């Protein structure tokens, strides 16, 4: 039995869509919103008040009292009646002076009475004698039945309007469906504009191996019959795992664009609310929408928000809501709810913490790792992001790609955009090599700060950065020094930029020790020259600690700790919780030994090459910034030549 799917007829979906076909308008009776229960509620209230006011209108014709004909005659004789209106034997009138009401409840000036049929008095003569005006219009103006009805209905209408407003707010707080006043129809996705270009694999570069993995999904969506004839089943889900900015969302959109199927995207956090059960309801709605246009693709970003491994024991609040949402996703992907033809693509940068039930075959059948691009990939990504940017002939994207190791697609896109912004500020018609160089400095080193430093502090900063640069040049196998500056950037008073010539995927102990020596070069230079240590080495020490901890506790580069991983990857948060106390003491001792050895090495090399250190510092004080070629020339070191201690 196929699950009924509610109509798509309300705005503001908790997801975004692309490529969904237009849906014909349904008859008004199809919904369960205002046209259903709310309309019936309003009609019932209207009928009740119509009947009530109709009955009340017979009992309450006005506020004027009905007095006796005897009292009326007395008032006429006393000359207290100003005017009357008669229709048959019914008489309405108005007094000149107020009289006390019958029964003593206040006073009155307007009244009504009934002339007895047996009366044989000289009423007309009395009225004429006392100058009473006999009008042709009623003295007492009664409101019409419609006016009475509207006045009496006004409080009820106000209450109904307030009720609707509060109910909608409550329903929205409860996630739309499942509100206290009944289920609301699921939101209707925004339709794709006709002729709008969709994302394809032509817009994706630098991750060719990932495209190969996803091409199977595209082919399945395009040619499902061929796979069914072979008995193959469509993959339920594809998990894209990788660092932020590597293009996971772009890949999911490209798969949908290549296959030409509707694309539904949502962040996992959009399913979570304070009220338990809302997330599961939203998941049901999302899959119901996707099934209507199957084959289709659902993309859930940051799925680790709701897909964390479930814990034991009773859960309450948000934790329980997260588990219910996850359970609903598992149920929908398992096929029991008729989700055939719907492929779920999810993205996360924490695949290690996902629930095993989510990553088993039959749920997310494939786990695709999306890594930062290599040099050729970075060049291809830069070409895509500069398609609409006019480039000058001197721009070499291959050179830019070589100087940006480790950058993701999002960072490269930001780099191209920063270069274009600089060109606009400088009123250039094309983006030149200078804009790309300055944009790269801004991205990697931070924006320049207009900071005026005292001369002694400026000189100390020059020696600090010269120490970093010189040790980077002297250390065998170290990353080449690209730029040295004492211009304050970001939070730093000066920056030394070193990047490898090619991408590195594995690091030797010698290379890591060189990194530590280079990072300690600033502190070592200050001690060698000034015999003091300042707070300018804080960031350097953080980097040193991170590398030393990895060498000792994770990468087996300590004989005392042994060939084991004693601390997890996130050891900075869990340090001291993942190993025995004796092991932690050993790790601490080994980290100190490695750092102390590297620091002694840094001080020794700087003392041995003090002349080069002074030359670099003097050049920095004069020029503030040294490019790669100038830095090596001033230091007297030939590029690519391994210097040895002499």
Q: Check: CB of residue 466 under 8 Å from CB of residue 625.
A: no
Q: Check: CB of residue 235 under 8 Å from CB of residue 218.
A: no
Largest CA distance in the chain: 146
**Lookup: tokens for 108:** 């009155």
Q: Residue 288's closest CA among 189, 193, 191?
A: 189
d(CA 128, CA 53): 41
Query: What's phi and psi for 143, nearest 5 deg?
Result: -65, 150
DSSP lists the bridge partners of residue 368 as 240
Please report the DSSP string for 170-238 in residue order: HHHHTTSTTBTTBPPPPBPPPPPPTT-----GGG--S-HHHHHHHHHHHHHHH-HHHHHHTT----SEE
If you count them, how many residues does the chain have?
646
DSSP lists the bridge partners of residue 81 as 95
Q: Residue 285's closest CA among 370, 200, 179, 177?
A: 177
Q: Check: CB of residue 20 under 8 Å from CB of residue 291.
A: no
DSSP lists the bridge partners of residue 83 as 94, 133
Peptide bond into 295 cis (omega under 30): yes
Q: Check: CB of residue 182 under 8 Å from CB of residue 164.
A: no
d(CA 238, CA 342): 11
**Lookup: tokens for 70:** 């005897």
Residue 363 CA, chain-centre distance (Å), reads 25
Query: What's phi and psi for 138, nearest 5 deg?
Result: -60, 140
Per the listing, tokens 């772009």 go with 250
Catalytic site residue from 465, 526, 527, 601: 465
d(CA 236, CA 334): 8
d(CA 566, CA 554): 6
DSSP, res 391: B
d(CA 403, CA 499): 7
Which residues lie below 8 Å from residue 110, measured CB to CB, with a gap of 6+? 64, 92, 93, 94, 95, 139, 140
d(CA 92, CA 308): 83
d(CA 256, CA 342): 11
d(CA 643, CA 639): 10
Q: Residue 464's closest CA among 547, 528, 396?
A: 528
Q: Residue 121's closest CA among 73, 80, 78, 86?
A: 73
- Is 465 considered catalytic here? yes
d(CA 543, CA 520): 9
d(CA 259, CA 325): 28
Which residues lie below 8 Å from residue 45, measured CB to CB, with a gap of 6+? 156, 160
Positions marked active-site: 465
């Amino acid at each position: 039995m196929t699950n009924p799917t509610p109509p798509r007829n309300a705005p503001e979906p908790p997801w975004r869509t692309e490529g969904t076909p237009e849906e014909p308008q349904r008859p008004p009776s199809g919904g369960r919103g205002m046209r259903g229960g709310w309309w019936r509620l309003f009609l019932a209230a209207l009928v009740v008040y119509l009947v009530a006011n109709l009955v009340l209108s017979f009992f309450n014709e006005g506020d004027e009292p009905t007095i006796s004909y005897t009292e009326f005659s007395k008032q006429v004789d006393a000359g207290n009646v100003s005017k009357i209106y008669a229709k048959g034997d019914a008489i309405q009138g108005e007094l000149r002076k107020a009289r006390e009401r019958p029964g003593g409840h206040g006073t009155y000036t307007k009244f009504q009475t009934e002339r007895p049929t047996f009366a044989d008095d000289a009423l007309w003569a009395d009225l004429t004698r006392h100058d009473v005006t006999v009008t042709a219009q009623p003295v007492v103006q009664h409101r019409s039945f419609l006016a009475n009805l509207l006045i009496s209905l006004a409080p009820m209408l106000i209450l109904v309007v307030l009720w609707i407003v509060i109910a909608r707010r409550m329903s929205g707080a409860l996630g739309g469906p499942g509100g206290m006043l009944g289920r609301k129809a699921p939101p209707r996705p925004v339709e794709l504009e006709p002729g709008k270009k969709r994302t394809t694999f032509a817009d994706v570069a630098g991750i060719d191996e990932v495209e190969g993995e996803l091409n199977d999904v595209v082919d399945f969506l395009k040619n499902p019959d061929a796979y069914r004839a072979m008995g193959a089943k469509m993959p339920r889900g594809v998990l894209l795992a990788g660092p932020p900015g590597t293009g996971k969302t772009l890949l999911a959109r490209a798969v949908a664009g290549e296959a030409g199927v509707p694309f539904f995207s949502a962040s996992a956090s959009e399913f979570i609310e304070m009220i338990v059960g809302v997330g599961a309801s939203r998941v049901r709605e999302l899959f119901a929408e996707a099934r209507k246009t199957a084959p289709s693709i659902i993309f859930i970003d940051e799925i680790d928000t709701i897909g964390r491994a479930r814990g034991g024991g009773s859960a309450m609040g948000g934790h329980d809501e997260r588990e219910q949402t996850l359970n609903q996703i598992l149920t929908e992907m398992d096929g029991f709810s008729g989700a055939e033809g719907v492929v779920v693509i999810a993205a996360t940068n924490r695949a290690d913490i996902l629930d095993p039930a989510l990553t088993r075959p039959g749920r997310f059948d494939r786990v695709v790792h999306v890594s930062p691009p290599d040099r050729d990939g970075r060049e291809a990504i830069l070409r895509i992001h500069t398609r609409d940017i006019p480039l000058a002939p001197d721009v070499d994207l291959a050179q830019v790609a070589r100087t940006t190791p480790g950058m993701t697609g999002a960072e490269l896109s930001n780099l191209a955009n920063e270069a274009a912004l600089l060109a606009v500020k400088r009123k250039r018609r094309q983006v030149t090599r200078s804009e790309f160089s300055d944009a790269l400095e801004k991205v990697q080193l931070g924006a320049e700060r207009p900071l005026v430093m005292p001369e002694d502090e400026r000189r100390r900063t020059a020696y600090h950065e010269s120490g970093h640069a010189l040790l980077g040049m002297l250390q065998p196998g170290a990353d080449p020094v690209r730029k040295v500056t004492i211009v304050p950037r970001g939070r730093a008073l000066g920056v030394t930029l070193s990047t490898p010539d090619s991408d590195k995927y594995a690091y030797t102990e010698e290379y890591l020790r060189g990194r530590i020596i280079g990072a300690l070069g600033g502190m070592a230079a200050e001690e060698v020259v000034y015999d003091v240590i300042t707070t300018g080495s804080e960031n350097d020490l953080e980097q040193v600690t991170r590398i030393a901890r990895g060498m000792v506790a994770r990468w087996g580069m300590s004989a005392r700790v042994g060939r084991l991983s004693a601390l997890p990857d996130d050891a900075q948060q869990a340090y001291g919780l993942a190993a025995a106390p004796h092991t932690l003491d050993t790790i601490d001792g080994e980290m100190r030994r490695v750092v102390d050895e590297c620091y002694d090495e840094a001080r020794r090399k700087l003392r041995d090459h003090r002349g080069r250190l002074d030359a670099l510092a003097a050049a920095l004080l004069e020029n503030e910034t040294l490019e790669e070629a100038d830095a090596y020339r001033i230091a007297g070191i030939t590029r690519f030549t391994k210097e040895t201690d002499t």
